[in-house]
Amino acid sequence: MTATIEVLAPGALTLVEDHGRDLAEWGVARSGAADRRALALANRLTGNPTNAAGLECLLGGVSLRFPEGAIVAVTGAPCQVTATGRALDMNRAHHLAVGAVLTMGLATSGLRTYMSVRGGIDVEPVLGSRSRDVLAMIGPEPLTVGTTLPIGSEVDGEAWFEFISPFPMAVPVTVRVAPGPRTDWFDSSALELLVTSEYTVRGESDRTGIRFMGVPLPRRSGDLASEPTLPGSVQVPPDGQPIVLGPDAGVSGGYPVIAAVLDDDLDLLGQVRPGDAVRFRWA
């Protein structure tokens, strides 16, 4: 009999995510966890391959029942975690008894909490990944009350029941960038403003892109033919307010790209909330 997870409360938006797809040449977004480090840590704690599918919970508020029990770990945005009323530490593996109810409270900082279960979440892959792409609407549907998720059996080692220190996240968040392919659309003042100003995350941000508000970046007027883009591309629309493309963004765009966030720093942006301050610095 396949072990399962039953969703009692799905929170604001809870998605099945792994490390995404590598099909940009076919017009398919990367998708995958917005904070890949947090998901990889959760998987390591439960003894899974680091790219196994887990849950990405936006701001927490999730409750899950494990009818057959399980080994789980919760990482990412800090929140209160309980198993049938018993407090559990984040960033370590835990045994859940048969019928246990795991609850992840509201995140006290950061944006996305991750849960891994030993064996991974074994939903049907779509285009080689179990990730949900919210823009293209491919992959498993967002969790709802009554959703049942199968637990897989692929593991990569033993679970780790000792506490692991979480990744530090300074405020304001500072991310490193490299010059983009369209710096010719900007003068030197825009390049200087990008790395000397502080920008605020706007409420319209989501998995397709993080929109910022701050000092506008002067750019050439006119239209640019669509060209390939990647997560982390810093686009500048006509209003001069930068947008950093997220994991579910389309693979092409027409706004000039002034810079690109280093891949190692993209996970930091997966945890910024509306209203948070972000600074860009040349790598």
The confidence band for 275, taking pLDDT boundaries of 50, 70 and 90, is: very high
CATH code of the domain containing 256: 2.40.100.10
Judge if 230 and 137 occupy the same domain.
no
State which of 117, 150, 183 marks the end of a domain.
150
The pLDDT value recorded for residue 170 is 79
- Give the pLDDT band (50/70/90) at residue 166: confident
Q: Is 162 a member of any domain? A: no
Output the pTM of the full model.
0.95
Residue 103 has pLDDT above 80, yes or no: yes
Quick one: 63 and 120 in the same domain? Answer: yes
Specify the range with the lowest mean pLDDT, choosing from 91-95, 128-132, 166-170, 273-277: 166-170
Measure Cα distances from 85 to 7, 63, 103, 105 in Å.
Answer: 17, 11, 8, 12
Same domain (yes/no): 8, 143:
yes
Burial class (CB in 10 A: 0-12, 13-18, 19+), 99: exposed
Same domain, residue pair 182 and 277: yes
How many structural domains compose the chain? 2
Q: What is the mean pLDDT of residues 59-78?
A: 97
Range of the domain at 183: 173-282
Task: Give the helix, strand, coil percentages of the chain, each rounded to 5.
Answer: 10, 35, 55
Amino acid found at 142: P
Residue 218 lies in a domain: yes
**Whether residue 204 sits in one domain with residue 144:** no
- pLDDT(167) > 90: no
Read off the pLDDT band of 211 (50, 70, 90).
very high
Q: Is 90 exceeded by the pLDDT of residue 230?
A: yes
Residue 37 lies in a domain: yes
Show which of 92, 119, 150 is a domain's final residue.
150
Same-domain check for residues 116 and 179: no
DSSP string, 168-211: P--SSEEEEEEE-TTGGGS-HHHHHHHHHSEEEE-TT-BTTEEE
222 vs 227, higher pLDDT: 227
Mean confidence (pLDDT) of the chain = 95
